[in-house]
Chain A
């Protein structure tokens, strides 16, 4: 059964308003450290946004990809959300290895 949240997610994904993209043209080229402009040119990603920032990051800002780039659909555009990283660089807001939930699952 699809709950309210999941149904909303499916609808948003279909309308390209929301949802996460795992496979997309150019994904394999997004490794190491790239500039924002390079990342956009090399892949189907339409735009890069920086969390808690009013405007998009300049094209020459370095993106530490962690070899893990998962854009989302937003406003009909394939959008990579990023956050500030060390040394004035930025990195995808989705990290490859989130801290596992620390509950006792035994």
Chain B
């Protein structure tokens, strides 16, 4: 059983073997792969019970080991390491560009240090796929990422890339760290990137190449070439080229790899009015239907609503049409950081991107760049993942499980949601989960919102005006794979909050559940609202279309949760 420095010394010799197994299973510095089958089984049991990580020690359920808990350092700084509902809710960002992107500028460590300072627990470096990156950049960026992991220990730094999805938009692809992370990403990019392969046009062959890419990733995980891999569709409505059937196709082909999309794009400063900002479309959503666009998408789909993508912002829209099918498909919110609004640095002069795979390190310019539309990772957009412990594996597990909520501008600090049989005292299930109940059982949704409670990175404390509960019927698979609406989803309850500190709790009664349904949450600072695109009866106070050239991101804040399904047994 020798596990290096974890081998128990004489002072613990009195421990029964079972306790030793338990303590090793709980010691998260020992990777899963080094555990005995018994220890691994023990760890999985702890994970299922939500008893691993800081939560374990803080809760004291199995205390007495004297393990150092991160939460005990008192320096959480909003990083989410304080356990809530048995999970560490780690804020993160899966969409970040560096000097290894042809339109990037910053070093990896620049992003990692900023992200860490702004409270992120995990992040993914996603330089653009392309010929130069596939040949050089994907390898050159890795030592910088490895060095950043060592330098900044309380933010997990994944390597990924921004895939030019054949026949479609961009997407984040990333893997869990390991021996083959670079080789796997490089082979993936060389074989399946739409730019590398000249496969961007909207043809069945190119759509098939996208599926083949996802199959390659699933295969790499199955063969243990990499410990894990995930894909998220980025800025899905920006150009109208992610058709509904392509999104369904990705998810259905590899549901454990293709797990979601950006609910909100990055570039959230792009709508700040001139001369203090770029004065463009929020999220750089300023495109028009083109030859490869899905013709069924309305003109509204090319715009953002309260900073969110049309697929997510429309109650009863494309996202809901997937959820109503019972398909897990999760949303995230990220920075897409290339050039930071107001930053005083500039791209390093000289060098040769195509020859070197990267630009020279940035230099100080001394002139704030108000023409840039991006924020640093963690500064404005956050994807909160409920991880079972502080590890790469646990973050990916949380993202895959949909145990995720997102916010802008630090609108709220914490969100705990449980669907449970009413009045039974049962704990129920949280975001991304499915509650199975007997036919006709009464079900309730317990909601606990920890309000902002402290200033955001624009130095004010946001006020949460309102929380909406959105509910829909699960109607099963659709015959039209290009469907992007669903008829029975709407806002069913709204709670006025109008507070910025403390904690508020609500219990929404779903009543006797006689058919499969799902619920999700949304909240806002209440500064910009309008009836939803499918009518006021569906969404009386939804996000308003963003004003082109004058969209102040700090005065229009929203949070969104992922869904919970409730399935009555027949």
Task: Determine the residue in chain A with the shortest Cβ distance to B291.
Answer: A6
Interface pair B545/A102, CB less than 8 Å apart:
no
Binding site for B on A (CB under 8 A): 3, 5-6, 8-9, 12, 18, 20, 51-52, 54, 81, 83-87, 91, 93-95, 98-99, 101-106
Q: How far is the CB of B308 from chain A (nearest CB, A)?
A: 13
Q: How far is the CB of B37 from chain A (nearest CB, A)?
A: 45
Q: Give Cα A54 to B235, complex, Å.
A: 26
Interface pair B295/A104, CB less than 8 Å apart:
no
Interface pair A93/B131, CB less than 8 Å apart:
no
Task: Determine the residue in chain B with the shortest Cβ distance to A8.
Answer: B295
Interface pair B129/A103, CB less than 8 Å apart:
yes
Q: Give Cα A52 to B291, complex, Å.
A: 24
Q: How far is the CB of A79 from chain B (nearest CB, A)?
A: 10
Interface pair B286/A99, CB less than 8 Å apart:
yes
Q: Which 3 interchain pairs have the tightest Cβ spacing?
A: A104-B130, A86-B550, A104-B102
Interface pair B202/A104, CB less than 8 Å apart:
no
Interface pair A85/B295, CB less than 8 Å apart:
no
Task: State whether A52 and B533 are in contact (beta carbons under 8 Å apart), knowing that A95-B281, A106-B130 are contacts in the complex.
Answer: yes
Interface pair A103/B547, CB less than 8 Å apart:
no
Residues of chain B lying within 8 A (CB to CB) of residue A81: 299
Interface pair A52/B286, CB less than 8 Å apart:
no
Interface string of B381-410 (1 = CB under 8 A from A): 000000000000000000000000000000
Interface pair B300/A102, CB less than 8 Å apart:
no
Task: Determine the residue in chain B with the shortest Cβ distance to A49.
Answer: B299
Residues of chain A lying within 8 A (CB to CB) of residue B299: 51, 81, 93
Task: State whether A103 and B286 are in contact (beta carbons under 8 Å apart), knowing that A5-B202, A85-B548, A86-B273 are contacts in the complex.
Answer: no
Residues of chain A lying within 8 A (CB to CB) of residue B546: 84
Interface string of B242-279 (1 = CB under 8 A from A): 00000000000000000000000000001001000001
Residues of chain B lying within 8 A (CB to CB) of residue A18: 295
Q: Which of B278-293 contact A (CB under 8 A)?
A: 279-281, 284, 286-289, 291-293
Task: Determine the residue in chain A with the shortest Cβ distance to B103.
Answer: A102
B453 CB-CB contact with A under 8 Å? no
A-B contact pairs, 10 of them (CB 8 A): A9-B295, A51-B300, A91-B549, A93-B303, A94-B288, A95-B286, A99-B270, A103-B102, A103-B164, A106-B130
Q: How far is the CB of B253 from chain A (nearest CB, A)?
A: 21
Task: Determine the residue in chain B with the shortest Cβ distance to A101.
Answer: B239
Residues of chain A lying within 8 A (CB to CB) of residue B130: 103-106
Number of B positions contacting A (CB below 8 A): 49
Task: State whether A86 and B354 are in contact (beta carbons under 8 Å apart), knowing that A5-B293, A18-B295, A98-B287 are contacts in the complex.
Answer: no
Task: State whether A86 and B530 are in contact (beta carbons under 8 Å apart), knowing that A95-B286, A103-B164 are contacts in the complex.
Answer: no
Q: Give Cα A101 to B293, complex, Å.
A: 14
Task: Determine the residue in chain A with the shortest Cβ distance to B104.
Answer: A102
Interface pair A103/B170, CB less than 8 Å apart:
yes
Q: Give Cα A9 to B292, complex, Å.
A: 11
B302 CB-CB contact with A under 8 Å? yes
Identify which of B132, B203, B548 contacts A104 (C-beta below 8 A): B132
Known: A87-B550, A103-B170, A105-B102. 6 other contacts (CB 8 A): A5-B294, A52-B303, A83-B545, A84-B546, A86-B548, A101-B239
A/B pair count, beta carbons within 8 Å: 99
Q: Give Cα A85 to B132, complex, Å.
A: 39
Q: How far is the CB of B472 from chain A (nearest CB, A)?
A: 21
Identify which of A83, A87, A104 contacts B133 (C-beta below 8 A): A104
Residues of chain A lying within 8 A (CB to CB) of residue B103: 102, 104
Q: Give Cα A9 to B550, complex, Å.
A: 33
B107 CB-CB contact with A under 8 Å? no
Task: Determine the residue in chain B with the shortest Cβ distance to A87.
Answer: B550
Interface pair B195/A52, CB less than 8 Å apart:
no
Interface pair B288/A98, CB less than 8 Å apart:
yes
Residues of chain B lying within 8 A (CB to CB) of residue A105: 102, 130, 195
Task: Determine the residue in chain B with the shortest Cβ distance to A72.
Answer: B299
Interface pair A104/B101, CB less than 8 Å apart:
yes
Which of B170, B289, B291, B546 gathers the greatest number of chain A CB atoms within 10 Å?
A: B289
Residues of chain A lying within 8 A (CB to CB) of residue B549: 85-86, 91
Q: Which of B162-188 contact A (CB under 8 A)?
A: 162, 164, 170
B305 CB-CB contact with A under 8 Å? yes
Q: Give Cα A95 to B294, complex, Å.
A: 19
Q: Give Cα A52 to B103, complex, Å.
A: 32
Q: Give Cα A104 to B358, complex, Å.
A: 12
Task: Determine the residue in chain A with the shortest Cβ distance to B547.
Answer: A84
Q: Give Cα A18 to B292, complex, Å.
A: 16
Which of A51, A52, A95 gathers the greatest number of chain B CB atoms within 10 Å?
A: A52
Interface pair B354/A83, CB less than 8 Å apart:
no
Task: Determine the residue in chain A with the shortest Cβ distance to B353.
Answer: A106
Q: Give Cα A93 to B288, complex, Å.
A: 8
Task: State whether A52 and B548 are in contact (beta carbons under 8 Å apart), knowing that A99-B284, A106-B354 are contacts in the complex.
Answer: no
Q: Give Cα A91 to B239, complex, Å.
A: 19
Residues of chain A lying within 8 A (CB to CB) of residue B295: 5, 8-9, 12, 18
Task: Determine the residue in chain B with the shortest Cβ distance to A90.
Answer: B548
Task: Determine the residue in chain B with the shortest Cβ distance to A54.
Answer: B531
Interface pair A83/B548, CB less than 8 Å apart:
yes
Residues of chain B lying within 8 A (CB to CB) of residue A104: 101-103, 128-133, 195
Interface pair A93/B195, CB less than 8 Å apart:
no
Interface pair A52/B530, CB less than 8 Å apart:
yes
Residues of chain B lying within 8 A (CB to CB) of residue A52: 300, 303, 305, 530, 533, 544-545
Q: How far is the CB of B521 from chain A (nearest CB, A)?
A: 23
